[in-house]
Structure 1
């Protein structure tokens, strides 16, 4: 990516599902964890289906996608809307469907405005 020198890099991750850590020698038990916290390199936005260390529901009823992806697909094709606004709309819909049990999260080092995924 650095060779192409993009204006911004956007990562959209619907991957906060739970996974089991293997048994450790000390405790002997397994534990469920979500993804670890990440930092956004310069010019990057990273959007997650949920906050670091959290886990989420696997599927939205009537779809093969997770709830985050369901609403991402709904909003991502809206022309002339900044990616931050799109992600806020996604978070609002996800919160509504899950009674605020799932809260999408993002980290960003983007300083520019009007980063539109679908220009007019």
Structure 2
């Protein structure tokens, strides 16, 4: 993998994470693919699988139901094929730990986040 490609992918992941952490809807609008979805098990007190599309995800960040808290990011793994990539990322805030699988696609030379699969745990 070219270093330039890896840097572009890491930049897109960072834009996604920091955009949510800062509740910066413009950053999210730029980095999220039009077909973006967030798939998670559990939604606050509710159990089950929840699929959240791009518009709803951005709305939840705007309403401060998602994001708004600074997290550290540790990129654990990155697999890259010509136009798709999959990252495993560990994120930590003061209260929560996230283990996320983040997938990206490259269209017209631009890497965008198309899926996020977070697993969230409360720190004890």
Greater strand share, 1 or 2?
A: 2
TM-score relative to the length of structure 1: 0.30
- Structure of greater Rg: 1
Q: Which has the higher contact order (CA 8 A, sep 6+)?
A: 1
Greater helix share, 1 or 2?
A: 2
